Amino acid sequence: MNIFSKRAVARKSKVFSRKQNLLLLTVMVLTGLLAGPASAEMTIQYADVLGQGGMGTAAVNGAKLVRSDSGLVISVRIPTPAPSSYNYPPANPFNPAAIAGSPEAFTLWAFVFNYPDSCAIPGQCGPADIANPDVATAIFNVAGHFVAGSVLQLNGNITFQTEQFDKSPLLEPQTAEVHLAIAPHGALQTGALPNQIKTPIGNPSFWWPALFPAN
């Protein structure tokens, strides 16, 4: 091979090498674009739904909480409490007294203790901690509807933009202590709508609770 042939081969080798590098760079860029940012951490927790007033168990692992950096996804599933089989809350400024009937209304509430280490007993928050501003408790009406079937299913989600019923907004979805409560509103009373599925009634002695400790 003469010197001119060697130079030609060298030029072709350099061109080929540049093309290889460009192709490799293109593949790397496209791979990064397709992959996108790393997915947010997600944690799934289950808890028993206790009976009314916290007595007994209504459903083993009947409550599900999905935590992510963007908020909470909540669902509860229990056998529908039969009319007249449980205690009905009295009237309050939002709702008339609950009475037995069919269909009956139930609402799902979330009490999110954003900073559970500030509770009177750290990591074991309770009603007395709701007023403590250091705990930054957020209260949300997660869901509400009428049901006449055999299964009561209530689902909802909470984000940083979700309007709270009271107190603080959602601040720490990944590490907050979360208490859920199913409240009974009794038989459909058309004059009480939409309050009957959007506002609170009763107190913990009337609710079916589920508790999720701080993550």
Tell me the per-residue pLDDT of 38-73, one tens digit each, with 9 for 90 and over: 445 899 999 999 999 999 999 999 999 999 999 999
Query: What is the H or E stretch that residue 17 is in?
Result: helix 3-35
Same domain? 28 vs 46 = no
pLDDT score, position 26 = 40
Q: Could you tell me if 151 and 77 are in contact, meaning their C-beta atoms sit under 8 angstroms apart?
A: yes
Structural domain span for residue 80: 42-212
Same domain? 89 vs 195 = yes
DSSP letter string over 99-146?
Answer: ---SSEEEEEEEEEES-GGGSSSTT---GGGTT-TTT-EEEEEEEEEE
Same domain? 76 vs 175 = yes
Same domain? 34 vs 46 = no
Same domain? 197 vs 175 = yes
Same domain? 70 vs 153 = yes
**CA 51 to chain CA mean position, Å:** 21
pLDDT score, position 40 = 59
Residue 205 and residue 143: Cα distance in Å, rounded? 20
The amino acid sitting at 120 is A
pLDDT score, position 215 = 85
Provide the sign of the torsion angle of the four alpha carbons 182, 128, 166, 178, taken in this order. Answer: negative
Cis omega (within 30 of 0) on the bond before 204?
no
- What pTM does this model have? 0.80
Same domain? 10 vs 33 = yes
Same domain? 8 vs 80 = no
Question: Could you read off the pLDDT of 151-163 as tens digits, one per residue?
Answer: 999 999 999 999 9
Same domain? 72 vs 153 = yes
